[in-house]
Amino acid sequence: MALAEAGARGRLLRWPRVLLFGDSITEYSFQENGWGAYLAERLVRKCDVVNRGISGYNTRWAKLILPRLITESTSADSIVAVTIFFGANDSALKELNPKQHVPLEEYAANLKSMVQYLKSVDITADRIILITPPPLQESAWEKACLAKGDKLNRCNATTGQYAQACVQVARECGTDVLDLWTLMQKNQDFSSYLSDGLHLSTKGNNFLAAQLWSRLENKLTALPSLLPYWRDVDHTNPEASLL
C-alpha cells in the first residue's frame, strides 16, 4: 500500500499533551534526572510532555506568551494537564533585580489571569496545577550571585510570600497546587534539594517529580496507550491493526 493511501485510510494520530509552562526550573526539567523527563518517561505512548520553560521569565512576561502557546482553535482540546510554575524570578528583590521583579499583588493577578485564560479556551480547573517557587537557600545563592559580580538578590522569606500568594490563587480559582516552598522545608534541611540555592538538584528534581506524579497519576495512567503492543499487531495483515 502506498504511504499516501495509508495516510488517507488511517486516522491522524494525535497524542494528548501535558504542557509544562514555567521559568528555568521548568526549562531545565528535561535534563538528566529532571522532573519533566520523569513525567515523559512514565507517559510515553500515552501523552507528549511538552517543555515550555523559559529561563529568567516572570509572570508579567509569561501571561503575554500563554495565548500564543495554546489557542482554542488549534490545541486546547488535546491538553490533559498544564503546570504553571513561576515565582522564583518574580520574587527577586526590586532594589537589586528590578528587571525580573514583579510586585506581589501583580504576581497573584498574573497567575489568576493565566488560569482564567486557560479556562476561557476550555481547559478546566481540574487540568491545571500551579506550582509555587521552591525555597531559597540564601548562602548558596549568594555565592552564585557573587561569582557573577552581583549581590544576593533574593531572600527566602520574600519567596515564601509569593508561594503563599500562589496557594491563595489556586484556592480562589479551584485549581490544584503544589506548594514546594512549604513541602521542601517541612521538618528538614532543604539545601540538598537545590543545586545552587535556587535551582533544583537531582534530589530536588526527584522530590518534585514524585509530588507532581502523585497528582497526575490517577488522571493520566488511565489514558490508553496509542497503537497496539507489538505482539498484538497482526503481522499477516498489519493494516487491520494499525490503520
Query: Scanning the structure block, which residue is given the C-alpha cell 559580580?
Result: 149
Tell which residue, 85, 125, 126, has the closest CA to residue 219.
Answer: 126
Tell which residue, 103, 22, 124, has the closest CA to residue 65.
Answer: 22
Catalytic residue, candidates 176, 196, 225, 241: 196
Check if 101 is active-site.
Answer: no
pLDDT of residue 76: 74
pLDDT of residue 3: 60
pLDDT at 44 over 80: yes
Catalytic residue, candidates 24, 75, 78, 201: 24
Enter the DSSP assignment of 15: -
Please report the domains of the chain, with CATH numbers, ordered by start residue: 17-220 (3.40.50.1110)
pLDDT of residue 174: 97
pLDDT of residue 4: 56
Catalytic residue, candidates 91, 176, 179, 199: 199
Check if 126 is active-site.
Answer: no
Query: For residue 61, what are the contacts with CB-CB under 8 A and spacing of at least 6?
Result: 54
Cell numbers found for residue 126? 481540574
Q: Contact at 8 Å (CB) between 16 and 186?
A: no
Residue 79 forms beta bridges with which residues? 17
Check if 196 is active-site.
Answer: yes
pLDDT of residue 9: 59
Query: For residue 72, what are the contacts with CB-CB under 8 A and spacing of at least 6?
Result: 120, 121, 122
- Nearest-angstrom CA–CA distance, 6 and 219: 33
Confidence of residue 229 (pLDDT cuts 50, 70, 90): confident
Confidence of residue 241 (pLDDT cuts 50, 70, 90): confident
pLDDT of residue 243: 86
pLDDT of residue 10: 60
Query: For residue 158, what are the contacts with CB-CB under 8 A and spacing of at least 6?
Result: 91, 93
- Nearest-angstrom CA–CA distance, 209 and 215: 10
For residue range 10-38, list pLDDT tens digits in order: 678 888 999 999 999 999 999 999 999 99
Find the mean pLDDT for residues 174-202.
Answer: 95
